[in-house]
Structure 1
């Protein structure tokens, strides 16, 4: 019988795994719990322990005085909590170092000049390490908003996706702004000449909504709402015309306002 040969794991496999992170941790509360363990153990030096907010210094104290804990349960709990807090510090260090690198690059610092500070020997190694650190601040929507893998290639893909998404959002906002610039004066004309429009209850209701949002229409939600309200006005005017077999506008000014609203909505891809 042939002997099965087990394939060795690829050396890059650890870098391809999606990282699991602690995220937010109430470090002061955990340090306070560890302080209480030392007080309960009558640690004679606990008065010299740094404040709960001084995480790094407090951890150094707890490490140096771990022998002061007398019970095995207390030592076990303290050690596990210290492991968690050091992991939290590591995560925070990655994020903060990544931000420092971004600031350095914004100040036109070359990768060669960053190599020594990043404990590497070449500009390319500095670049790759920076990209791996960048993964700590990125989420990949293609993977359910999980953290990006810590490889330069994965970070580049995530950055391209983020840039494409941001560009698409900017285009949508610019298009919405252009459409709003055309829609707002049309909405104003509808309100000014509403007396000449059909006074059907639904028409009146939607005109009231337009009148309410139009004066302070600035936020994205307000802009979208205004478009929907004007669209509803035009839709109800069309319905009224079909049901009554008579024009929905009774004056020339109202007819022009109605026609202008219909035209703007049609150009905006929302024909009534």
Structure 2
């Protein structure tokens, strides 16, 4: 029986494993160790080696003078370190070239102008290469899943991130509008709390309002403040129902409670 053909993964599907990368390196320290190997091998040209922080130039020197290392162990260590440093440079080149393309596009450079700079012949190839560069750049799109390092996956993730950012902006704008109406209501409850406190549940929720109100800025904080105001109104209604008398020991306290109740009824 013939085996069913294995379906290839969609290039836009998330990866199950985070891509392995060199990441952050103390390149100057590694170049310094390689310099020491050449000094110990009495490399007669080591004084011409670029400074430890001139990575590209130092790597070219180390490649050209690899034969100056006399022991096999030293040559192996130096070569492996050079491999690692070149891989680091490759990762950094992707990151910085992608940023350069982004800046060029922000400055209204057309893909036709970017094509020769990206060593391709047509605008569509420049766009595709720039997308592949973005795919190579490590980034956090949120959502808790690593992104497959393909142009399709990155474009999908970018669209999702843009949609989420737009939703977050809408939520923040809505929260700001609600805060304009909610903050005076909450402040009035606190201002007249002497006429509302019951030394029990009402007091607890007024304390919660007092804690969150001064720094209420985000959508989540506004929701929290609304929750506390709603809870305070609920407890005040219980007091009113149980006592069969209007809430508040002053007219101002009663108006603060009524304003809070009206706000909650309208959300």
Measured against the shorter chain, the TM-score band is 0.7 to 0.9
Q: Are the structure 2 counterparts of residues 21 and 262 from structure 1 closer, same or farther at C-alpha, using a change threshold of 3 Å? A: farther
Asked if structure 2 preserves the Cα contact closer than 8 Å seen for 1:27 and 1:85, the reply is: yes
Q: Deviations over 1:199-222 (max 9, x none)?
A: 324433443443455345446676
Asked if structure 2 preserves the Cα contact closer than 8 Å seen for 1:16 and 1:150, the reply is: no
1:146 partner SS: coil
* Match in the other structure for 1:89: 89
Q: Are the structure 2 counterparts of residues 63 and 239 from structure 1 closer, same or farther at C-alpha, using a change threshold of 3 Å? A: farther
CA RMSD of aligned residues (A): 3.5
Q: Deviations over 1:124-167 (max 9, x none)?
A: 1111111111223444546x44244223x333212211111111
How many Å separate the matches in 2 of 1:209 and 1:17? 41
Structure 1: any 5+ residue segments left out of the alignment? Answer: none
2:124 partner SS: helix
* Match in the other structure for 2:118: 118
Pairwise mapping of residues 172-251 of structure 1 onto structure 2 (< 5 A)?
A: 172-215=171-214, 217-218=216-217, 223=222, 226-238=225-237, 240-241=239-240, 247-251=246-250
Q: Are the structure 2 counterparts of residues 87 and 147 from structure 1 closer, same or farther at C-alpha, using a change threshold of 3 Å? A: farther
The CA deviation at 1:123 is 1.0
* Match in the other structure for 2:74: 74
Task: Indicate yes or no: 2:16 matched with 1:25.
Answer: no
How many Å separate the matches in 2 of 1:72 and 1:265? 79
The CA deviation at 1:186 is 0.4
Name whichever of 132-141 and 176-185 sits farther off. 132-141
1:116 partner SS: helix
Q: How many residues align?
A: 263
Higher RCO, Cα 8 Å, sep 6+ = 2
Q: Are the structure 2 counterparts of residues 37 and 178 from structure 1 closer, same or farther at C-alpha, using a change threshold of 3 Å? A: same
The CA deviation at 1:84 is 1.3
Structure 2: any 5+ residue segments left out of the alignment? Answer: none
